[in-house]
Structure 1
Amino acid sequence: MAGRLLLIWRLLVRDLRRHRTETLLLLLAITAATATLTLGLTLHELVARPYEQTRAATAGPDLVVQAGQPGPHSLDALAPLTTLPGVTNHSGPYPLAFLALTAGDTTARVVVEGRDGTPAAVDRPAVTDGTWIRPGGVVVERTFADALGVHVGDTVSVAGHPLGVTGFAVTAARPAYPRAGWHLPGSILTEGGGLVWVERGDIATLAGEQPLSYTVNLRLADPQAGAAVIDPSGGDARFRGWRFSTGQEIADTNGRLNAPAQQALMIGSWLLTALAVVGVAGIVAGRAIGQRRRVGLLKAVGAGPAMIAAVHLAEYLVIALAAAGTGLAVGWLAAPPLFRPTAGLLGSVGMHPPPLRMVAAATALALTIAVAATLAPVLRAAATDTTHALADAAVPPRRRRWVISLSRRLPIALLIGVRINARRPRRAWLVTVNTLITTTALAAALMALAQERSPVDLGYSKLPDARDERTTQAMILVVCVVCFLALLNTVVSTWTAVLSTRHPLAVTRVLGATPAQAGVGLAVAQLLPAIPGVAAGLLLGILTFFAGDDNQHAPASWMLTAGLGVPLAVVALTAIPAVAAARRPVADTLQAGVR
């Protein structure tokens, strides 16, 4: 057993050293798929884990309670809550006013909370820039400040009163912009808005004639109890119209801001998985051509089918594991700077190792890609007859009368391309799938970009929705990686075609075909299966995106550009190597005995 493992290891190291280009292509293909999957999974962590860190750093509450009606009597209603059984600590009540803030040319709804200069026992907003509140100043929630474009030291106006921006801060007691919970006094309907803090003594002046609302932050002995600590029955008329927000509800609200981007990345990861399988299958097909003789030698010295399969699979599994680690690291570290979903929170996932479930998912995906793409060629190699493998003879092509009858009337270059695909139909299918997935991703992305974006309505102004921005970023990222991987697959497919058709093309040239006709024929063999993939991809991309009646079509010029660009890219990537391979001297090819 030890001797077999040593043999597998030595053959593995030898192959990796001799086939560095193919190894790099395999690594890139599987890494792209695992990195995109990791990006999708990381977006959830980018909210869940930093929220936990923010909650710990700011002494976040387990329950935030706001009285149903504004006015001084709210203080009397909130005061008994702080001494209820199950309440271990509290801060407040703090006054609230729902006003308008103007920064430059932008006016927005804003929740103004009056606070003290000294830190509270529960909910201590963490200042990330500048300093905490002082009389005549305002601290702006960091995500809201980013949307407004204000800086520390700027002057903003709240309800017509100029205030200097003393700093930015984050909190775990309210969701980030634009879900800060703005509403009219006495109403339970919330609107989009931001959050700011002012000195408690200034809020009455800012509110003017508007009655103040009040809120209290509670720490519970059982954080899961939530509002049941105050209203066990859930229907007490005394608390009708009150607002109860648990820490989990606030975390979920922040998480929903990233849901569309996460969905786009997860769908993209499946597209890239399919592309990676296509690319790996193409590389394996090319490698199998050059490894037939080694299979025969191994069988000649006594290796059985299981040993042959282990020798071949070991290499791809090792590459898959390396790609899983690389993709996991790339996705985990790239997500924070790409999407910045933690602007309203503290911490970053890149500062901590990824969770075990994410490591397991990336590893399982990489191994699945490797096994799915290599299992069939490996089993065929293991079942190959020893004498046939040692002879390394060409496999007789399958002759179909209708193909022969049709192709004999075609121009020489087109005839060569049709017969190459008829001889290797699996490779043609891989080209079709490659262009189908690529065009589908491009069409869906173009359809998404053509839709009207709904900005956040802030009552007086409208600002772009951060969800749309992150979703667009995710789609562009997926399309870029899809195109990159599709280009790699096209290069691999061309390389495999050149390797497997050297001998037939040499015979074709002996029979009278010119090097140019042979090279163009090889390029045509790549282009023909790409055309139906492009047509089906455009249709599938449009149909996949259309889930509602309000969606809009992308301009026809966009779709036409995508439909022509993909086959043109295939031609450009295949023409040069195909012509170069066709110009190789016929005598050298035939003497080498290479197919």
Structure 2
Amino acid sequence: MAGRLLLVWRLLVRDLSRRRTETVLLLVAVTAATATLTLGLALNEIVTRPYEQTRAATAAPDLVVEPGFSGPAALDALAPLTALPGVAAHSGPYPLAFLALTARDTTVRVVVEGRDGAPAAVDRPAVTEGSWVRPGGVVVERTFADALGLRTGDPVSVEGHPLHVTGIAVTAARPAYPRVGWHLPGSILTEGGGLLWADRGDIARLAGSRPLSYTVNLKLADPAAGIAVVDPSQGNPRFRGWHFRTGQDIADANGRLNAQAREVLLIGSWLLTALSVAGVAGIVAGRAIGQRRRVGLLKAVGAGPAMIAAVHLAEYLVIGLAAAGTGLVAGWLAAPALFRPTVGLIGSVGVDPPPLRLVVAATGLALGIAVAATLVPVVRAAASSTTQALADAATPPRRRGWAIWLSRRLPTALLIGVRINARRPRRARLVTVNTLVTTTALAAVLMAFAQERKPVDLGYSDLPDARDERTTQALLIVVGVVCLLALLNTVVSTWTAVLDTRHPLAVARALGATPAQAGIGLAVAQLLPAIPGVAAGIPFGLVTFFAGGDNRYAPASSMFAAALGVLLAVAALTAVPALAAARRPVADTLASAPT
């Protein structure tokens, strides 16, 4: 056993060192899919991990309670809650005013919470820039400040009262902008808005004649108890119209800001998986061309089918493991920089190691791609006879009467292309898959950009929705990686075709075909299977996008331009190497044929 393992290891190392280019291409193809899947899965971690870190750093409450009425009655209603069994600590009640902020000629709704200068036992917002509240100034929640472009020292006004920004802070006691829970006093309907902290002594002046509401922050002995501490039946009419926010509610609200981007990345990862399988299969096909005779030689010296399979699979599994590690690290480190969903939180991912479930998912995907793309050629190599492997012969085309009749009437270049695909039908199908996935991704992205973007209604002004920004970023990442991987697959497919058809093309030229006809025929062999892939990719893209439930179509002209662009890219990427390969002297090519 030790001798066999040593032999497999030596053959693996030698093959990887001799075929460095193909090894790098394999690594890139699998890494792209793994990194995109990691991006999608990491988005959830990007929100939950920093939120938990923010909760710990700010002594976040487990339950935030705001009564359904205002004034002294609100204070009287909140007072008994702080002494309930199960309440370990509390802060407040703090006055709340639902007002309007004007900054940089933009007026928006804001929740203004009055706070003391001394730190509280529960809910201590972490100041990330500037200083905490003091008379005449306000502290702005960081996501809200980022949306308005506010910095410390900037002038603002609240209901016409001039103030300045003394600091920027984050909290885990309310969801990030714009879901902070702005509402009219006594109303259960919440609207979009931002969050400010002001000195408690300034609240009455800022609110003017508007009634003040109040809020209290509770730290529970059992955080999972939630609202049951205050209302065990969770149906007491006394609490009708009250606002309750648990820590889990706030975490879910922050997570919804990235839900669309995460869905796009997960769908994109499956598209990239299909594209990676096609690319890896094409690279494997190219490597198999150079390995067929080696398989025959191994069989001739006594290697059995199991040994042949082990030699081949070990190589691709090693590449898959390396790609899994590379893609996992790349996706985990890139996610915070690409999406910045932690702007309203402190802490980040990328520094800490990824969770085990993410490592298992990325590794499983990479190994699955490697096995799915290599299993068929490995089984064929293991099952082939020694004579067949040493003969190194291509699959003979099936001769049908109608095909022969049609081929007599085809131009020479088109006939050469059809015959090349007939000899290697599996490679032609990979080209179809490549263009199908690429066109599907482009069509889905065009559909997404055609939809109406609804800004966030902030009462007096509209601002762009951060969810749309992150979804657009995710779409651009997916389509960019898809296009790069599709270009890589096309180059690999052309390289494989050039390697495999050098002798048949030399024979065709010996029988009278010109170098131009041979080169165009090789390019046509790549372009013909791309046409059905592009044709099917448009409806597939529509189906993929409409899974999200929207119903607005992209212009037909943009869809046609995308389809034509894919075909032109395939033609351009295949024409140059095909024509270059066809100009090699016939005598040199035929002299290099195995005897």
SS of match in other structure, 1:113: strand
Which amino acid is the alignment partner of residue 355 of structure 2? P
Q: Output the CA distance in 2 between the equivalents of 1:40 and 1:175.
A: 22
Q: Name the structure 2 match of 1:276.
A: 276
Q: Runs of 4+ in structure 1 displaced over 6 angstroms? A: none
Q: Output the CA distance in 2 between the equivalents of 1:404 and 1:116.
A: 90
Q: CA deviation at 1:6?
A: 0.4
1:521-567 alpha-carbon deviations (Å, 9 max, x no partner): 00000001111111111122124323588632212331121011000
Q: Output the CA distance in 2 between the equivalents of 1:53 and 1:362.
A: 25
User: Is 1:219 the counterpart of 2:202 in the alignment?
Assistant: no
Q: Output the CA distance in 1 between the equivalents of 2:171 and 2:382.
A: 62
Q: Output the CA distance in 1 between the equivalents of 2:197 and 2:100.
A: 13
Q: CA deviation at 1:396?
A: 3.3
Q: 1:588 to 1:55 in 2, by over 3 A?
A: same
Q: Judge conservation of contact 2:421–2:525 (CA < 8 Å) in 1.
A: yes
Q: Name the structure 2 match of 1:256.
A: 256
Q: CA deviation at 1:418?
A: 1.0
Q: Output the CA distance in 1 between the equivalents of 2:470 and 2:42.
A: 14
SS of match in other structure, 1:507: helix
SS of match in other structure, 1:291: helix
Q: Output the CA distance in 2 between the equivalents of 1:37 and 1:548.
A: 19
Matches within 5 A, 1:124-135: 124-135=124-135
SS of match in other structure, 2:152: coil
1:29-79 alpha-carbon deviations (Å, 9 max, x no partner): 000000000000010001100000000000000000111101112111111
Q: Name the structure 2 match of 1:401.
A: 401
Q: Judge conservation of contact 2:394–2:423 (CA < 8 Å) in 1.
A: no
Stretch of structure 1 that moved more, 405-414 or 366-375? 405-414
SS of match in other structure, 1:100: strand
Stretch of structure 1 that moved more, 288-297 or 23-32? 288-297
Q: CA deviation at 1:399?
A: 2.5
Q: CA deviation at 1:407?
A: 1.6
Q: Name the structure 2 match of 1:156.
A: 156
Which amino acid is the alignment partner of residue 474 of structure 1? A
Identity, % of aligned positions: 81
Structure 1 stretches of 5 or more lacking a match? Answer: none
Q: Output the CA distance in 1 between the equivalents of 2:393 and 2:555.
A: 52
Q: Output the CA distance in 1 between the equivalents of 2:593 and 2:212.
A: 90
Q: Output the CA distance in 1 between the equivalents of 2:463 and 2:23.
A: 48
1:355-403 alpha-carbon deviations (Å, 9 max, x no partner): 0000000000000000000000000001111123223344433333322
Q: Name the structure 2 match of 1:14.
A: 14
Q: Judge conservation of contact 1:503–1:594 (CA < 8 Å) in 2.
A: no
Matches within 5 A, 1:40-119: 40-119=40-119
Which amino acid is the alignment partner of residue 172 of structure 1? A
SS of match in other structure, 2:17: helix
1:1-26 alpha-carbon deviations (Å, 9 max, x no partner): 00000011101110110000000000
Which amino acid is the alignment partner of residue 215 of structure 1? T
Structure 2 stretches of 5 or more lacking a match? Answer: none
User: Is 1:35 the counterpart of 2:35 in the alignment?
Assistant: yes
Matches within 5 A, 1:380-399: 380-399=380-399
Q: Judge conservation of contact 1:36–1:478 (CA < 8 Å) in 2.
A: yes
Q: 1:547 to 1:358 in 2, by over 3 A?
A: closer
Q: Name the structure 2 match of 1:507.
A: 507
Q: Name the structure 2 match of 1:421.
A: 421
Q: Name the structure 1 match of 2:187.
A: 187
Matches within 5 A, 1:114-513: 114-513=114-513
Q: Judge conservation of contact 2:47–2:255 (CA < 8 Å) in 1.
A: yes
Aligned length: 595
Q: Judge conservation of contact 1:407–1:415 (CA < 8 Å) in 2.
A: yes
Q: Output the CA distance in 2 between the equivalents of 1:304 and 1:335.
A: 46
Which amino acid is the alignment partner of residue 451 of structure 2? Q
Q: Judge conservation of contact 1:114–1:200 (CA < 8 Å) in 2.
A: yes
Q: CA deviation at 1:231?
A: 0.8
Q: Output the CA distance in 1 between the equivalents of 2:240 and 2:395.
A: 81
Which amino acid is the alignment partner of residue 407 of structure 1? S
Instruction: State the TM-score, normalized to the length of structure 1.
Output: 0.98
Q: Output the CA distance in 1 between the equivalents of 2:287 and 2:365.
A: 22
Stretch of structure 1 that moved more, 252-261 or 576-585? 576-585
Q: Output the CA distance in 2 between the equivalents of 1:396 and 1:447.
A: 43
SS of match in other structure, 1:350: coil
SS of match in other structure, 1:117: coil
Q: Output the CA distance in 2 between the equivalents of 1:159 and 1:388.
A: 86
1:391-450 alpha-carbon deviations (Å, 9 max, x no partner): 334443333332222122111111111111112111111111110110010011011101
SS of match in other structure, 1:64: strand
Q: CA deviation at 1:465?
A: 0.2
SS of match in other structure, 1:501: helix
Q: Output the CA distance in 2 between the equivalents of 1:401 and 1:339.
A: 58
Q: Name the structure 1 match of 2:3.
A: 3
Q: CA deviation at 1:589?
A: 1.3
1:304-353 alpha-carbon deviations (Å, 9 max, x no partner): 10110000000100000000000000100001111000111011101211
Q: Output the CA distance in 2 between the equivalents of 1:549 and 1:467.
A: 17
Q: Judge conservation of contact 1:97–1:213 (CA < 8 Å) in 2.
A: yes
Instruction: State the TM-score, normalized to the length of structure 2.
Output: 0.98
Q: 1:203 to 1:487 in 2, by over 3 A?
A: same
Q: Output the CA distance in 1 between the equivalents of 2:5 and 2:165.
A: 68
Q: Output the CA distance in 1 between the equivalents of 2:273 and 2:289.
A: 24
Q: Name the structure 2 match of 1:567.
A: 567
User: Is 1:23 the counterpart of 2:23 in the alignment?
Assistant: yes
SS of match in other structure, 1:349: coil
Q: Output the CA distance in 1 between the equivalents of 2:364 and 2:551.
A: 36
Q: Output the CA distance in 2 between the equivalents of 1:520 and 1:91.
A: 78
Q: Output the CA distance in 2 between the equivalents of 1:406 and 1:157.
A: 80
